[in-house]
Structures are given as C-alpha cells and as structure tokens.
Amino acid sequence: MALGHEHVGVNKFKQFDCVVDYSDHYYYHQSKPNQKSNSHGTMMINNRNTMKRIMKEWEILEKNLPASIFVRVYEGRIDLLRAAIIGASKTPYHNGLFFFDLQFPSDYPNNPPKVYYRSFGLRLNPNLYNSGYVCLSLLNTWGGKGTERWCPDKSTILQVLLSLQGLVLNEKPYYNEPGIKPAWSWESYNADVFALSCKTMLYLMKKPARNFEGFIAAHFRDHANVVLKACVAYRNGRVRIGLFDGDAPVGSKKKKVNVSKKFKDSMNELYPELYKAFNRIGAPVKNLPEKLEDDGAGKPANGIIGKLKRFWEAMTA
C-alpha cells in the first residue's frame, strides 16, 4: 500500500520498539523446516542461553542506537528483527532509507544472524546484492580475519548495523568491490548509486515496510527538498555526487564536475517521479520545478576540448 498524507513526525517515532505484525518480514516466509513454530507462527526457541542473549541484544539496541538507525523487534517472533538505516551525509546514499531484515539462528550467538537487504531488485552497493544477499565479514558471508569475523562472545547486532552503515553505505562504495570494478571510476559509480538510491525512495513510498509506514512518510517529507535540490545540483555538475549539503545554489551557472549523459538521463527521468511522490505524501516542496530542463551550463565547446569532453561523457555513460 502506497503512503498517504498521514502525519507522524520522525521525532515521535521510537528508535527501538516491540511490535506485533511481522507478516511482511523476509524470514517469516523463509523459515527452515527444522525451526519449529506454533500455530500462531511464533518461533520455538528452546535454548535458554539463546533467549537470554537475544534479550541482551534488545537491551543493547534500546540504549545505544545512533540517531540514524531505527529497529523493530517482534512480540510473537523473538528470532526476527527489522532495521532501517538513514544514508549518511557526504555519501551517495544521503537522505535515503535502507531496510534490513534479520533472523537470529536457533543456536545464537554461536552463529551470526542472517541478514536480508530489502533491495527491490536493485544493486546499489557491491556488498548488497539485488537478491537481498548481504556480503559482510562480520556475518561470515565474506572473508576476514580475527575480529573482522563473527565472535560469539563479543559480536553484537549493534555492531552489525553500525558496520552496514559505516563500512557498506560509505562515501566511496566503488572500493568495496575487490574484483572487477563496477564502473570506470568511483565518481561514475557514485552517480549510479545515487540514481538507484532515488529509485529505492520511490519503491519505499509505494510499498513501505510494515511498522515503518509513518516513519518513511515523515522522513521523506522532511528531506524532499534536499533530495530534489541534490538531483538538480548533481545533474548540472554543480557539486560532486554525494557532497550536496542542501545549501548549494541550484540556479548557479558555474559547473564544477563532469556529468555523464547516462546520469543526466536518469535524473531527467527520476526527478519528476520523485517530485510527484513527495507531493503525494504531503511534502512541502518549495521553489522547485516539476521536471528538469537543461540550463545550458557546462555544454561542451566546439573544437578539440569539446570533442574530448564528449568522448569522456560517452565513455562514462
């Protein structure tokens, strides 16, 4: 169900809370046959040590979550957890929302939690597959040594969430890929990532994660203007992608960075969709056009310089 105009301020949304409805949780539908549940779907965790450890994890999260991470646990499924991470400033993920479904194994903490990224089929990071698979040393889903890997006595869910925010959703995710790089440069990859982050915003407003509906609407009402201004600034080469701080003059004619035709086209397509979606949820969009138009700034000149610029844009498209 798409979001409406219901107004619930982000500051009124608890960072940690226990809720009832887990019907759209990924692992509710993916439980292994050897993990028994009762007629109400409640997971039967019989290991007292596991239950005590999960309760301890809840306490740690409730007391120590940073302002940019929100968590919901479930009254009827102690083994499930959902987290929302706000994309950090100075990254191509800024102002975005990223959701992860977690499941504690029956022998927790001997083994790390399972983590599924709600990707909507998009791959906006080398560590986050479009299938939802999360590649991270701390989860033992990637190589690592010592404290990089899961340690039953020391590792926590909070540590996992902070790693996802700081190590995965970072300033230059291009360098997270150890093999064949996903683009020509980290700048061109950041352009792809920002466009995919914008698509994720649209999907979230159309199909919000359960128990986060009000939070998602409030978050995008608060940040709609910044996101739209960033689209304009990045498309027109005013500022390097990921570094828009909300104050850069959108109408400035000074071009700072090269922008590929591929990215310009993606912004031309996504911007009006975002504009309409933000309006539908009651975002106070101010002094911004409904669609993007080329302002002519930074157009390649004729001659050798112009040819080189056009060649560069074609290579990075």
Give me the active site residues, please. Answer: 135
3-class DSSP state for residue 92?
A: coil
Tokens of 71: 């968590």
Question: Tokens 């590649």 label which residue?
Answer: 135
Cα(90)–Cα(88) distance, rounded to whole angstroms? 7
Bridge partners of 102, per DSSP, are 81, 115
Distances (CA, A) of 3 to 9, 99, 118: 14, 16, 18
The strand order across the sheet containing 69-74 reads 16-19, 69-74, 80-86, 97-103, 114-117
Cα(177)–Cα(173) distance, rounded to whole angstroms? 8
Q: Is the peptide bond before 109 cis (omega within 30 degrees of 0)?
A: yes
- Structure letter (DSSP) for residue 181: -
State the Cα torsion 281-164-177-89 to the nearest 10°. 50
